[in-house]
Chain A
Amino acid sequence: MAVTRYGLTWWGRRWIAALEALGAAYENRLPRGRTYARRGAVHELVVTPGSVTARVHGSRPRPYRVGLRMPVFSDEEWSQVTGALAGQLRHAAALLDGAMPEDVDDTLAAVGLSLFPHAGELATTCSCPDVANPCKHVAAVHYVLAQTFDADPFLLPTLRGRDRAALLAGLRAVRSGSAPVDAAPDEHTGSVALTALSAPTLFSARGDLAAIGAQPHRSPDPTAVLRRLGTPPGFDAAGEQALADAVRRAAERAWQLAAAEDGDPLLVALRERGSASTQQLGEALGRPAEEVRAGLRALVADGLVSRTGHARSTRYHA
């Protein structure tokens, strides 16, 4: 997959294409916005039902305000859209996995609608003095918007009037054949106020720690989770193999840490001496140098042993 232009995903590119289809003015002006967008000139991009707002730093110290309006679907239209999307679970599955369903155009075309703008639907404004429409600021916003859509496919429906929660509720309603029910708000926060802590219980477990079992084991196939994700972006077979190897090594390392000897003989021997070379330790333990070196590498990685010098003069310190 190419990573050289905005609009990586098919729907991001589709957005740009939809704009380009709006007329020659867009087709010519859009590339000018790209430089601005790359410079990071676009700020405070907000997508709400029917509109997008943003600020763009241009030649003047005050940023320009850019606005973009697009008609939202009516309730009637939305019920057609959700009805069509709910026809196949894979549409909802794709959205939940962060992707616009690939055949969304065809699916919605069946009910005569499109999430993407068509002629006459898009109106843009900019506070710059440039008379051209779209100006380069508007063009820059379009590019950043495409990028934003890439990251969150629910933003397109949001622009058309239904955000993630509302769309999911609509899909549920179609499946269950009942009226939509709003989702509960997410109340998660990342911190606890000091006033919520109590001195007498500060040091006491709030539940039964012994009841939480953990049984590390050597996994025969530690790459199952990785496989669930498929090929990472821009990876070839060799890269994918290398990533799987990294996961395998990490899994093996975790097992070794979990089952590590209380007194690793290598570490014990090194601690007795303070510092030593691979060869000295190999002789002391009666183990081949290669094995000792591998063991030392692991101890260095764990932060238990440090290393000085290199090649033949390498010494290890406990």
Chain B
Amino acid sequence: MQIPDRLQATFWPGGRVPSDGHLALWGEDDPAAAAVALGLPAGEPATFPTVLPAGPRARRRVVTADVPARVVPIRSAARALAALPAPGSWPAWRQPSDSVLGWSVAAKLALELVADGHLAPALRSAGPGRAVASWRLVAPPDGRLAALAAALPPAAHALRRDEDDDTVWESGELLAAFCDAVADGCARRIGPGPGAGWPQGWLAALTGADPAVPIHDESIIDECARWAAPVGGRDGQAVARLCLQLHTPDGAEPDAAWPLDYHLQAADDPSLLVSAEQVWETGASSLQALGRRVGDPHESLVRGLAEAARLFPPIDASLSQRCPVGLGLDPHDAAEFLTVGAQSLAAAGLGVLLPAELTAAGARRLRARLRVGNPVTDPGAGITAGGLGADQLAVFSWEAAIGADALTEAEFAEIVALKQPLVRWKGQWVRVDPDEMPKLAGLVGRTGKLSAVEALSVALAGERDTAELGDVEVVADGALADLVEQLRTAGAGREPRLVGIEATLRDYQLRGVGWLQMMAELGLGALLADDMGLGKTLQTIALLAGREGDRPHLVVCPTSVVGNWERELTRFAPYLPVVRHHGAERAAEAADFKAGAVVVTSYGLLRRDAELLAGVDWDVVVLDEAQQIKNPSAQTARKARGLTAQARVALTGTPVENRLSELWSIMEFTNPGLLGPFARFREHYAVPVERWRDPDAAARLRQIVAPFLLRRLKTDPGVAADLPPKVESIVACTLSREQATLYQATVTELLDDEGLGEGIERRGRVLKLLTALKQICNHPAQFLGEAGPLRARSGKLARVTEILAEVLDGGERALVFTQYRAMGELLARHLGAALRLPAVPFLHGGVDLAARDAMVAAFQTDDAAPPVLLVSLKAGGTGLNLTRATHVLHYDRWWNPAVEDQATDRAYRIGQTRTVNVHKLVTAGTLEERIADLLEQKRALADSVVGSGETWITELGDAELRALVELSGADLAEASADDGDA
């Protein structure tokens, strides 16, 4: 018998009413901790009667087992389960068990149904004179609950039946009990308070905490059951439903009858239609159609028609016939059917088919829409000049439209005068809602104003939420229409202007620069979210170098990459003046930021020097690793929004389209107001897209966001063809204050105080110095031989964690090489916690052969294995095949390109189909950076000059050595901990 190693969930009914049931969480050594790690409540301890695999000898057999569990009351369970991301959107190594995912789907489904009103009250006997009131879920016959019941893993319903030990609950039954529990839980404890008599007693028992109802006559129980019987069927049994199909009349005369045909429709496959005529001809209790068996065809049709007649009375006439197959509706009934009838019939779970030309998609309906156009403040300037300031306004006007055509005043008046619900207009039927017409008549022609950013937002979305009519279609006009068109085509074919850039840009990078330049010229913010390794920094530098403004630029980035920005700016745009606004010697006045200069600062200083930075009139403000402002209400985000700029650019490599609160926060920086207030955004987009993958909400969001977001993946055909198989980059990190102090002290001690001596002794001392400095750059804990703490002490560790987080977000895998076993162990521990991985394997010399093979095999083939593998350079630098990695990080340097290349080749070798990104980490201002520069300059000579590893350094003279190792003063850095808001 073995407890499963992942947390399992099973619903556990019990108590007087359905909502007394609990979700049982079991498995793992500590189910409470596992639950909390997933975001589920820890619950109360309990012993859960379930089954477990008998053991390795009895391969297939299961045995009864009572396991330690935590139980969570249904409402908090449903709430937490519904907040879990949808199955399929989890990285494999973090994915919860199928039973947890199954109940998460169940919770979302049950909540959807209850939110839609699919619940009914019930009453059951509880002994003489007493009854218990509860709610149950009324499942619509769409087959989803049946599909879920069929898909649940056995563990999800492996609750042993009370009466015996030979059986467990059947999945459909347990799912139904769970749904009833959710319905009961939602409806209970929100009632008006106690009540007596009938029906007040029942109502109070349904909505209060106490479900008991005193009754005088027990027959009321049966009567209530009979009343609720029409919605009594369990989903899965009723697979077919009535479907009503409306056709347009054959003739064009206004009083022609509209045929309404009856069909039987498979609830889970609406395309499967059987005509009523065919159903009546079948005498059997099931019928075969389109390769499927449909049960109880007559009864489904009969009940459906009776139900439909209650909701749409004209159908009642059919109930007086023996075998009705349809009905002719007069135009008023047809119009009634098109509006309220069809809606309530569909809401009741019946199928409704409308003529295509009259459906919402066909839009053959006389309706009001908004025409949004030029700003009124300065018609000549166009909407875009100088950005979308709050002071700029656009005008809108209401107009009447049919299909895509706007109606003239006369046409509109003519149609209204007909007073017909369905009219022929230009050869087609058009719906006219007579009740709506007075309102429309009052609106058409009215005008108003809205802010420029809102105008752009609604024009992109194609709709606006209005007080008058709810969501209303929007058409853009004039300059706004041109801008929308321009944004939609994303500046296609635009030539980028490259000035002062000393690099060759790939094609997709040129497109990116062109897009950034267009957005900046339009005064709109841009979010460049290319995959890591595609050169976001280079594209941004090209934008900065090409600007002809008379203002300075600002780059805000994590402390760990301040050095890297400086480095890349100097390398790619050598004529662009760079000002580091970091460290103790930073500028204190806005005047120090000269026009055209690029000021590089950290998020920590954005907060600390907020006043200074907000007082500068910037040209371009760039936020690198913009996910740093993911929390919209945090200080960093607020300070970033407070900066004044001509153009705003945010850079991130994480898939923002999946983390919408982050996207909102970043967009609020780049284009304030475009996505509306956060609360509304959350309700309309974030929750539907993230939790239940609502395709409509996702599409609407994409409409608005797409023009402001450029994200290319390494796998995009246009990009992949452009990428070399291997991209190497030097990643410059920043020292923490502690590292800098230790570094300085070590250099002073070994060079000045003790001296290096001569000969063998000197060589030993130099190597000792190099090792000490490399360890300090790696992490003070490694140098000091400590176990921790690890956070916020090493710029390099911070940077590596950021890179790996991005790699994992993109669903990729990475190898991390180090030459120190101690550092590897520190890394394994830190990365496991920081990246929320169960464990990070470390392949080093002390690992036996079998364990090594297992690590390699898991990394190469197992989806659920940790996506990061730490490898000691000596133990794993050769021989292994680790082609599943697309990123290779060299945490510390061996100074021997051949050895490093060999290690890189674990991933970059035959069998590798994707580009491998190699990140070589060096600490800015230290010997690491200087040696890296040396190697880069002399790569051709590298093998001959430094081929023997580090020994060549011992041959250097005192002055050369000092120049190599000494810390450049300006690099004294802030602690990396500055970056977070925590």
A residues lining the B interface (CB < 8 Å): 1, 3-4, 6, 8-9, 40, 86-90, 92-94, 96-99, 147, 150-151, 168-169, 171-184, 189-194, 197-219, 221-230, 232-236, 239, 242-243, 246-255, 257-260, 262, 301-304
Contact = CB atoms under 8 A, between A and B. Distances in A.
- Residue from A168, A169, A206, A239 having most chain B Cβ neighbours under 10 A: A206
14 contacts: A92-B298, A150-B222, A168-B285, A172-B298, A176-B283, A177-B281, A197-B51, A209-B87, A215-B692, A228-B231, A233-B223, A254-B110, A254-B114, A258-B108
B60 A200 contact: yes
- Residue from B97, B158, B324, B347 having most chain A Cβ neighbours under 10 A: B347
Contacts of B86: 210
A205 B82 CA distance: 18
Contact of B320 (A89, A210, A224): A89
Contacts, number: 359
B151 A208 contact: yes
B222 A89 contact: no
B88 A255 contact: no
Interface in B305-352: 305-307, 310-311, 318-324, 344, 347-348
B225 to A, nearest CB: 7
Given A194-B51, A224-B348, A239 B115 contact: no
A280 B281 CA distance: 72
B186 A225 contact: no
A151 B75 CA distance: 34
Contacts of B694: 215
A197 B114 contact: no
Given A209-B105, A258-B691, 4 more contacts: A88-B322, A215-B692, A228-B307, A242-B192
Given A150-B219, A191-B167, A212-B151, A225 B118 contact: yes
Contact of A205 (B111, B119, B152, B683): B152
Contacts of A192: 154, 157, 167-171
Given A193-B166, A257-B78, A93 B302 contact: yes
Given A212-B109, A215-B694, A221-B117, A228 B187 contact: no
8 smallest beta-carbon distances between A and B, as pairs: A207-B151, A222-B117, A93-B306, A199-B53, A210-B88, A250-B187, A254-B114, A214-B108
B299 interface: yes
- Residue from B53, B284, B321, B692 having most chain A Cβ neighbours under 10 A: B284
Interface stretch (B198-206, B400-408, B491-499, B502-510): B198-206
B58 interface: yes
A208 B222 CA distance: 40
A53 to B, nearest CB: 21
Contacts of B222: 8, 147, 150-151
Interface string B78-102: 1100110011100000000111011
Contact of B155 (A99, A179, A202, A227): A202
A151 B232 CA distance: 14
Contacts of A88: 319-322
Contacts of B108: 214, 216, 258
A176 to B, nearest CB: 4
A229 B227 contact: yes
Contacts of B158: 197, 202
B54 interface: yes
A219 B116 contact: yes
B219 A250 contact: no
A249 B319 CA distance: 35
Contacts of B284: 172, 181
Contacts of A207: 147, 150-151
B681 interface: no
A206 B151 contact: yes
B116 A251 contact: yes
Contacts of A89: 302, 305-306, 318-322, 324
Interface string B16-59: 00000000000000000000000101000000000111100011
Contacts of B324: 89
Nearest to B174: A190
Given A89-B305, A191-B169, A224-B347, A212 B119 contact: no
Contact of A246 (B82, B110, B167, B187): B187
Contact of B111 (A3, A257, A302): A257
Interface in B97-135: 97-99, 101-102, 105, 108-112, 114-121, 128, 135
Contacts of B319: 88-90, 93
A234 B227 CA distance: 11
A176 B110 CA distance: 39
B224 A232 contact: yes
Contacts of A93: 302-303, 305-306, 319
A233 B224 contact: yes
A200 B4 CA distance: 12
Contacts of B206: 243, 246
A285 to B, nearest CB: 12
Contacts of A151: 222, 225-226
Contacts of A3: 198, 216-217, 219-220, 223
Given A92-B302, A169-B285, A234-B220, A228 B311 contact: yes
Contact of A232 (B207, B227, B348): B227
A297 B669 CA distance: 36
B157 to A, nearest CB: 7
A189 B691 CA distance: 34
Nearest to A245: B192
A8 B227 CA distance: 13
A202 B298 contact: no
A214 B105 contact: yes
Contact of A202 (B51, B231, B321): B51
B688 A215 contact: yes
- Residue from B75, B207, B222, B687 having most chain A Cβ neighbours under 10 A: B222
Interface in B434-452: none
A90 B320 contact: yes
B154 A181 contact: no
A225 B305 contact: no
Given A226-B120, A249-B187, A251-B117, A175 B135 contact: no
A33 B54 CA distance: 59
A179 B203 contact: no
B692 A216 contact: yes
Contacts of A150: 219, 222-223, 226
B4 A254 contact: no
B951 to A, nearest CB: 55
Contacts of A249: 187, 190, 207
Contacts of A232: 121, 199, 224, 227
A234 B213 CA distance: 15
Nearest to A259: B687
B138 interface: yes
Contacts of B147: 207, 211-212
Given A96-B299, A205-B102, A215-B694, A251 B115 contact: yes
A216 to B, nearest CB: 4
A152 B58 CA distance: 49
Contact of A239 (B8, B200, B302, B348): B200
Nearest to B6: A203
Contacts of A175: 280, 283, 298, 322-323
B117 A96 contact: no
A217 B115 contact: yes
- Residue from A88, A191, A204 having most chain B Cβ neighbours under 10 A: A191
B348 A225 contact: yes
Nearest to A40: B128
Contacts of B771: none
Contacts of A194: 51, 62, 64, 165-168
B518 to A, nearest CB: 36
B12 to A, nearest CB: 15
Given A97-B230, A189-B170, A225 B117 contact: yes
B190 A253 contact: yes
B148 interface: yes
